[in-house]
């Protein structure tokens, strides 16, 4: 047996990281994990239309399947393994109590078509969560059904459009700061609006004069994230809110960064007309890997009547779901329906468990600790890295790549080197308003020890970059099951087959 050149082992495995064939390559026709008796011979009821050839499912034993998925899970990085400093994503710990509640009997096995009388507890739960979301944001109404932040944006902008149509106005432009998350302009465009970008000022905030110059009677609204994606509080927010209202437009707040201000700032007091809340960020429900998330949207008096169906009301005999505008208990002129059913029930349960187990004081402490942790990173890293903006930050800290100038190391190389050190990289190249952005969000659930270890690694890597070791960075990551991939090639021409150990030293892809 010869050694694989990439790993130096005979098997191509690395320690307990096992290289294995695809299930389709492992499978053997006829092998199975269960014994099923021969089906009785029945008369053909399909008029001859039936499968003529095997469909090619791999035949596998139960241990093969279990090992395959367990190995896959070990190749995955997760918040349950370590720090996940992905800025803008709020990757905080999901308390196990939430999981226990979501699986509780009577909640875990609900069906959305059950008769209302059998799901009173679930409707009460939705109503209770809605109540606390309204209290925390200082807003009079909330639409619970959106399935994520981006879906909440769609809900909010559709409500704005419906309200404008109701006023008999057709406005065509939505203002969006240049630092905005990509979903903001995408939402505005999807709703048929022209996206008009507002530049940032030198302090990383909305340029107030540039914003005012863009106002006019064709502006439907502005979409602002606060704290913004540079991790900074928009401290001219009241002026912005007054100016947009004076121009007859609506104020959409992107609430993805609500984690920084829960219990301290009520968006309703800032004149917000609608704001989505990513339960999977601020209220700790799990995310990553495509969901499920949940993005309820709080609404002002002006937008509340247009909230989508269905929604929960208190009826004479308990809670009721309003499914149609012509229901006598309907309270508004819904713009329509966003989702087949009532929203992400599992996320509602987790978010409410999180709120109730923390209490008002606990939620307020969480936002305070999130901001403290980010500022600790900023203060600890500022002598090696270059903060993009001066002053304290909110729950995340933004660096640019000036500290890598003339080193030959890019933001991408730096992020890849973090993987070898056992950390998930920070968010890279976002927001677009600074060069080579590195956006770090530690969240409140990291301990000082954990942060110190991260800080130590980041500083050591920065020193290494400055010491002229660019070549080593370009090879990173070297210790992962897969080394640095050609990002375009990996997406366009993926190699999905297992490769036997290769003594010639082709890097495994
Ligand atoms: C995460 C995020 C979104 C989108 O939310 P999803 O739940 O991922 O759809 C929008 N805006 C900002 C600022 C975000 O961080």
Report DSSP state, residue 38: P
Low-confidence ranges of the chain (pLDDT < 50): 507-509
**Per-residue confidence (pLDDT) for residue 38, from 0 to 100:** 86
Instruction: Tell me the C-alpha distance between 275 and 98, whole Å.
Output: 24
**Per-residue confidence (pLDDT) for residue 508, from 0 to 100:** 43
**Per-residue confidence (pLDDT) for residue 291, from 0 to 100:** 67
Q: Say yes or no: CB of residue 79 within 6 Å of ligand 1.
A: no
Identical fold for domains 97-354 and 368-492, yes or no, is no
Q: Say yes or no: CB of residue 260 within 6 Å of ligand 1.
A: no
Q: How far is the CA of 350 from the centre of ligand 1 (A)?
A: 19
End-to-end CA distance of the chain: 22
**Per-residue confidence (pLDDT) for residue 332, from 0 to 100:** 83
Q: How far is the CA of 327 from the centre of ligand 1 (A)?
A: 34
Q: Say yes or no: CB of residue 7 within 6 Å of ligand 1.
A: no
- HEC assignment per residue over 79-136: CCCCCCCECCCCCCCCCHHHHHHHCCCCCCCCCCCCCHHHCHHHHHHHHHHHHHHHHH
Instruction: Tell me the C-alpha distance between 419 and 398, whole Å.
Output: 19
**Per-residue confidence (pLDDT) for residue 411, from 0 to 100:** 98
Q: How far is the CA of 98 from the centre of ligand 1 (A)?
A: 22
Instruction: Tell me the C-alpha distance between 132 and 110, whole Å.
Output: 23
- DSSP helix/strand/coil, 214: helix
Q: How far is the CA of 450 from the centre of ligand 1 (A)?
A: 26
**Per-residue confidence (pLDDT) for residue 157, from 0 to 100:** 98
Fold classification of 368-492 is 3.90.1150
Fold classification of 97-354 is 3.40.640
Report DSSP state, residue 193: P
Residue to mutate (ligand 1; options 187, 224, 228, 254; most atoms within 8 A of CB): 254
| Domain residue spans of the chain | 97-354, 368-492
CB-based contacts of 140, cutoff 8 Å, min separation 6: 134, 268, 299, 300, 301, 304
**Per-residue confidence (pLDDT) for residue 294, from 0 to 100:** 96
**Per-residue confidence (pLDDT) for residue 486, from 0 to 100:** 87
């Amino acid at each position: 047996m010869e050694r694989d050149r990439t790993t130096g082992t005979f098997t191509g495995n690395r320690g307990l990281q096992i290289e294995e064939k695809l299930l389709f390559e492992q499978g053997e026709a006829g092998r199975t994990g269960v014994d099923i008796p021969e089906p009785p011979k029945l008369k053909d009821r399909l008029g001859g239309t039936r499968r003529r050839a095997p469909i090619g499912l791999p035949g596998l034993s139960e241990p093969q399947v279990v090992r395959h998925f367990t190995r896959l899970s070990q190749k995955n990085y997760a918040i349950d393994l370590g720090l996940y400093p992905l800025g803008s994503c709020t990757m905080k710990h999901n308390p196990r109590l939430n999981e226990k509640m979501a699986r509780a009997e009577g909640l875990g096995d609900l069906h959305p078509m059950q008769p209302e009388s059998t799901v009173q507890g679930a409707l009460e739960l939705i109503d209770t969560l809605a109540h606390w979301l309204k209290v925390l944001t200082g807003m009079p109404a909330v639409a619970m059904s959106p399935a994520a932040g981006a879906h909440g944006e769609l809900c909010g902008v559709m409500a704005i459009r419906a309200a404008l149509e109701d006023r008999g106005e057709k406005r065509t432009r939505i203002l969006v700061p240049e630092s905005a998350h990509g979903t903001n302009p995408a939402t505005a465009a999807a709703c048929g609006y022209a996206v008009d970008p507002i530049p940032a000022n030198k302090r990383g905030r909305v340029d107030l004069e540039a914003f005012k110059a863009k106002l006019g009677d064709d502006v439907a609204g502005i979409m602002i994230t606060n704290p913004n994606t540079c991790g900074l509080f928009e401290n001219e927010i009241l002026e912005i809110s007054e100016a947009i209202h004076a121009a007859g437009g609506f104020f959409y707040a992107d609430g993805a960064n609500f984690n920084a201000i829960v219990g301290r700032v009520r968006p309703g007091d800032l004149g917000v007309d609608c704001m989505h809340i990513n339960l999977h960020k601020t209220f700790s429900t799990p995310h990553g890997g495509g969901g499920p998330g949940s993005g309820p949207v709080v609404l002002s008096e002006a937008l509340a009547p247009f909230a989508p169906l269905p929604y929960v009301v208190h009826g004479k005999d308990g809670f009721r779901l309003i499914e149609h505008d012509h229901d006598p208990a309907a309270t508004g002129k819904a713009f329509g329906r966003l989702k087949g059913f009532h929203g992400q029930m599992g996320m509602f349960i987790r978010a409410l468990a999180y709120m109730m187990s923390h209490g008002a004081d606990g939620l307020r402490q969480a936002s305070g600790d999130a901001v403290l942790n980010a500022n600790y990173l900023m203060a600890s890293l500022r002598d090696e890295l270059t903060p993009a903006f001066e002053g304290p930050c909110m729950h995340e800290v933004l660096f640019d790549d000036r500290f890598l100038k003339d080193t030959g190391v890019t933001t991408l190389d730096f992020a890849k080197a973090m993987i070898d050190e056992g950390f998930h990289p920070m968010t890279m190249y976002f927001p677009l308003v600074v060069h080579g952005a590195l956006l770090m969000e530690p969240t409140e659930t990291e301990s000082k020890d954990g942060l110190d270890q991260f800080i130590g690694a980041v500083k050591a890597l920065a020193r290494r970059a400055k010491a002229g070791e660019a070549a080593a960075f370009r090879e990173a990551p070297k210790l992962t099951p897969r080394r640095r991939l050609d990002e375009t090639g990996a997406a366009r021409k993926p190699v999905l087959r297992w490769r036997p150990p290769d003594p010639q030293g082709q890097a495994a892809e």
